[in-house]
Amino acid sequence: MITLKNIVKAYDGKQAGNKAVDGLNLEINKGEFVALLGPSGCGKTTTLMMLAGLLKPTAGEIYFGERLVNHVEPKDRNIGMVFQSYALYPHLTVRDNIAFPLRERKIPKQEAYARAKETSKILQIDHLLDRKPSQLSGGQQQRVAMARALSKNPEILLLDEPMSNLDARLKLDVRDEIRKIQLSLGVTTIIVTHDQEEALAISDRVAILNGGKIQQYAAPHELFNYPINLFVASFLGSPPMNLVDGKLEDKSGDQVVVTDGFEYKLPEDKILDRTYMGKTIKFGIRPHDLVVCDKNDNQAIPMKVDLVEHLGSGKLVKVTDTQGKLETMIRLLTDNEKEIQPGDLIYIKVKANKFHLFDMTNNGQSI
């Protein structure tokens, strides 16, 4: 198990200064695949560099199992690492690139080559062993970098945006391959990425970072369905969650979300503690949790269609309330069968219990 305890990193070395990582706690189980995900500058790479031993924490402790590794050199940490740039040695063949970490450990050439061959078979690049990196495609270079990282059987594999140089199609294949190899070898893996789809697709758990702090650390489906706060809710999901300003009110016994453009009565099984009444909130609904319904449906909300975007698999429809009072457009996803044009009046409703409430008087915490 890897444990990060109250990790702080201030590049100027002063704890009181600007912290790239600010009191980060994280536990990663043996064999787990964990993604560090967040916007640019949130501290992902800094965290990975501390795990690798390339940066020292300003405060806090890093344990690999029971062993405190804060002062252990990178070469003594038993990690493999793949960078965004792959950082292959251009003058060396694929074979020598893969064997490099073994040769560094003074493993005899013959044995190092034999192991390089073995690893190259797992990654299906054994036919490329005599080539130089410049004679390889981007996807092949990526695999060589993976093979090099795995050749010394590391306990931990660290991946820093390893797919960002690949085109969209190849990215999908490579990410599946990385996950397959990781599962078959059982190597504990930590990936840094700003691509949420990638993180959610291949990880057991994802840590969402913002401002050097972990916002939520959970399995992908949990992050998506039960975001802990407004940041996680708005960061995850494409198209993003609709977030409408509102207030919680008690209206003759019913609890109602009141917004500028519509009202939504909370269902019986979602009744809140009375202390929430009167609070300023954000009402969140994901675009696929809104459906077009019949005018006579008792939950129908009338909306005017502003824009229709064709996505291929369906349509993204952007609507506003009929009075034009809402500040933002609301997005919903529909199938291609529905004939919807800009200017149409349609009726929409929220799928049963598929909404989120965020307490704006408490830093956007989920209610």
Kindly list the residues in this chain that would bind ligand ATP in the complex (CB under 6 A): 11, 20, 38, 40-46, 194
Q: What distance in Å separates the CA atoms of residue 46 and residue 55, rounded to the nearest whole number?
A: 8
| DSSP one-letter code for 327 | S
Of the pair 40, 313, the CB lying nearest ligand ATP is at 40
Our CB check for ligand ATP shows the closer of 24 and 102 to be: 24
Closest contact distance (angstroms) between CB of 303 and ligand ATP is 37
**Cβ at position 39, least distance to ligand ATP in Å:** 7
Between 19 and 356, CB nearer to ligand ATP:
19
The smaller minimum CB distance to ligand ATP, of residues 11 and 226, is found at 11
Min CB(178)–ligand ATP separation in Å: 19
> Which H/E stretch holds residue 220?
helix 220-225
Q: What are φ and ψ of residue 346, in 5° steps?
A: -125, 165
Q: Which tokens hold the place of 192?
A: 């840094």
Residue with Cβ nearer ligand ATP (40 or 252): 40
Specify whether the backbone of 129 is left (phi greater than 0), alpha (psi in -120 to 50) or beta: alpha
Using alpha carbons, select from 102, 104, 134, 136 the residue that is nearest to residue 116. 102
- Minimum CB distance to ligand ATP smaller for 18 or for 365: 18
CB of 10 to ligand ATP, least distance (A): 9
Q: Is the peptide bond before 239 cis (omega within 30 degrees of 0)?
A: yes
| Residues 183 and 122 sit within 8 Å (Cβ to Cβ) | no
Buried b (16+ CB within 10 A) or exposed e, 156-181: bbbbbbbbeebeeeebeebbebbbeb
Least distance (Å) between residue 214 CB and ligand ATP: 12
Q: Are 123 and 143 in contact (CB under 8 A)?
A: yes
Least spacing, CB of residue 67 vs ligand ATP, in Å: 24
What are the C-alpha distances in Å from 65 to residues 69, 221, 340? 10, 28, 57
Q: Which is nearer to ligand ATP, 38 or 261 (CB)?
A: 38
* Two tokens, residue 229: 């706060």
Least distance (Å) between residue 55 CB and ligand ATP: 8
